[in-house]
Amino acid sequence: MKLIQPHRDVSAFLAEVQGLRIGDAQVQSGAVLDVIDPSFDRPAAQVAMADAAQIDAAVYAARAALSGPWGSMTAHDRGQLLWRLADAMEERAEIFGQLDAIDNGKPLHVARDVDAVYSARHFRYFAGWPSKIEGKTIPVSVPGRMNFTRVEPVGVCGLITPWNYPTLMVAWKLAPALAAGNTVVLKPSELTPLTALYLADLALEVGFPPGVLNVVPGLGRDAGAALAAHTGVDKLAFTGSTETGRRIVEGSVGNLKTVSLELGGKAANIIFDDADLDKAIPGAFWALFGNNGQSCTAGARAYVHRSLHDEVAERLAEMAKGLSIGPGMAEAAHDLGPVISRPQMDKVLGYINSGIADGAECLAGGAQQGEEGYFVSPTVLQSVRDEMTVAKEEIFGPVLCVLPFDEEDEVIARANDTQFGLAAGGWTRDLARTLRMSERLEAGTIWINTWGDTDPASPFGGMKQSGYGREMGEEAIALYSKTKSVWLG
């Protein structure tokens, strides 16, 4: 199999032990982390790992920038810097794409043409916000008094991002945090830290003051826990599992910092008997297999009307069998890459085996693919029941469960019968039904006759144990801001 030769800047980046980015310095530490290429199960790079002392140094650098050049910068100039960063990301989309393809394993054409490009769009959208953040004058009832509000940055923000979209998830959080005037300490996943480190260098290159963006890779139990507990952090934003989210909240109570969480999901995707199957079947397929099933919004539970169930399940299985799978840096433009790690591969295979043991029928996939790397064959299971573990728990891998239903009320109740509430949706030609679905489905995002669409201007977030707070759009600016009430007499 032919592989793409890495860009010279990527090769140089990988050849060095990458230090923490604190202020304008690369800081080495006593511990070094091997970054594994999941396509080949071998180290691709090494990065320094932050401990509590280095988290403290990063918070200090962020606080100094907030009270110094960044805090005194005009809104117009902040917006200009964000615009320049978007320009630079677009110009170097190949580098971002290759780094993601190497440490995450996703196909290069996806990492470069989708993730990197959409990340730049987030910075460009939020570049327009700094000059539009404004307070208001309130006509109060107290004689001889004037009242107005000031909207100010929260302060130092700790951002903890996941491995499934290494560049894009950073952009979702970092762009509004900077637009609102905050400074940031970013802890990317220890599995995929490369693009975050590269982005920190790029931010300095385009003119961001030192300390505005600090990047501190490390293990969650060390660096993540220290960031969550640090009393110098004013706000914490986390994307990851529900279990880890609970620990983040527990660790943040020391100074009662504000917390926003985007957690797990087990989305229901409903195909009604009047659906346009030529749209619904590919839509339901990519709702799960997009990003190899490694998405919190993956449409993992495909509820199909009983009259269509067998046809839909068979067509989904045929599509799964036709997918091309290979290394992220392969010359061939594969559909999917590996899952992120060996423990994740073992976990996914364990769920598949559990489902089959409970009575599910495997129509496609169901096993490890190849001996090198962490590849799992795209899997379609039918005869799945709601009470099965494979239908209840988040798998985070290429496993699609197909379940039959008979009535609308029944399937809505079943779709909502989950601890999660991040996304849900379905396929129907009935306009009245689409409106009922938008009201009755218990999830932060509802997709009807489509799946997976997001936009920097549209809010995104969860309900129930999928978290709270909204990223993107005007809601994200509010998430990273605080309002001060001022009275004059």
**So what's the pLDDT on residue 119?**
99
Q: Is the dihedral of CA 116, 119, 121, 123 positive or negative?
A: negative
Q: Half-sphere exposure of 208 toward its Cβ, with a 13 Å CA cutoff?
A: 31
The edge-to-edge listing of strands for the beta sheet with 42-48 is 17-18, 42-48, 32-37
Q: Is the dihedral of CA 354, 357, 360, 365 positive or negative?
A: positive
Q: How far is CA 375 from the centre of its chain?
A: 21
Q: Are 28 and 53 in contact (CB under 8 A)?
A: no
Distance, CA of 305 to CA of 322 (rounded, Å): 24
**So what's the pLDDT on residue 30?**
87
pLDDT one-digit tens code per residue, 174-190: 999 999 999 999 999 99
Neighbour count for residue 389 (Cβ, 10 Å): 13
Phi and psi at 220, nearest 5°, equal -60, -40
Domain map of the chain by residue range? 8-263+466-488, 268-456
**So what's the pLDDT on residue 193?**
99
The band of 254, judged by pLDDT with boundaries at 50, 70 and 90, is confident
Residue with tokens 């290494």: 166
**So what's the pLDDT on residue 155?**
98
Structure tokens at 407: 């009535």
Q: By percentage, how much of the chain surpasses pLDDT 70?
A: 100
Distance, CA of 59 to CA of 159 (rounded, Å): 12
pLDDT one-digit tens code per residue, 402-426: 999 999 999 999 999 999 999 999 9
330: left (phi over 0), alpha (psi -120 to 50) or beta: beta
Bigger pLDDT: 252 or 116? Answer: 116
Architecture of domain 8-263+466-488: 3-Layer(aba) Sandwich (3.40)
**So what's the pLDDT on residue 1?**
84
3-state secondary structure the chain: CCECCCCHHHHHHHHCEECEEECCEEECCCCEEEEEECCCCEEEEEEECCCHHHHHHHHHHHHHHHHCHHHHCCHHHHHHHHHHHHHHHHHCHHHHHHHHHHHCCCCHHHHHHHHHHHHHHHHHHHCCCHHHCCCCEECCCCCCCEEEEEEEECCEEEEECCCCCCCHHHHHHHHHHHHCCCEEEEECCCCCCHHHHHHHHHHHHHCCCCCCEEECCCCHHHHHHHHHHCCCCCEEEEECCHHHHHHHHHHHHHHCCEEEEECCCCCEEEECCCCCHHHHHHHHHHHHHHHHHCCCCCCCEEEEECCCHHHHHHHHHHHHHCCCECCCCECCCCCECCCCCHHHHHHHHHHHHHHHHCCCEEEECCCECCCCCCCECCEEEECCCCCCHHHHCCCCCCEEEEEEECCHHHHHHHHHCCCEECEEEEECCCHHHHHHHHHHCCCCEEEECCCCCCCCCCCECCEECCEECCECHHHHHHHCEEEEEEEEC
Distance, CA of 176 to CA of 163 (rounded, Å): 20
Helices 194-206/93-103 angle, 10° precision: 160
Which of 295, 159, 296 lies closest to 224 in space, CA to CA? 159
**So what's the pLDDT on residue 253?**
86
Overall average pLDDT of the 298-316 stretch: 99
Asked whether residue 325 carries a pLDDT value surpassing 90, the answer given is yes
Whether residue 474 lies in the annotated active site: no
Residues 6+ apart with CB under 8 A from 77: none
Neighbour count for residue 460 (Cβ, 10 Å): 21
CB burial of residue 41 (10 Å; 0-12, 13-18, 19+)? middle
Check 262, 394, 408, 471 and give the catalytic one.
262
**So what's the pLDDT on residue 484?**
98
Architecture of domain 268-456: 3-Layer(aba) Sandwich (3.40)
Asked whether residue 339 carries a pLDDT value surpassing 90, the answer given is yes
3-state secondary structure 274-291: CCCHHHHHHHHHHHHHHH
**So what's the pLDDT on residue 220?**
95
Name the average pLDDT for the chain: 98
pLDDT one-digit tens code per residue, 289-300: 999 999 999 999
The band of 70, judged by pLDDT with boundaries at 50, 70 and 90, is very high
pLDDT one-digit tens code per residue, 269-289: 999 999 999 999 999 999 999
Q: Are 48 and 31 in contact (CB under 8 A)?
A: yes
pLDDT one-digit tens code per residue, 17-47: 999 999 999 999 989 999 999 999 999 999 9
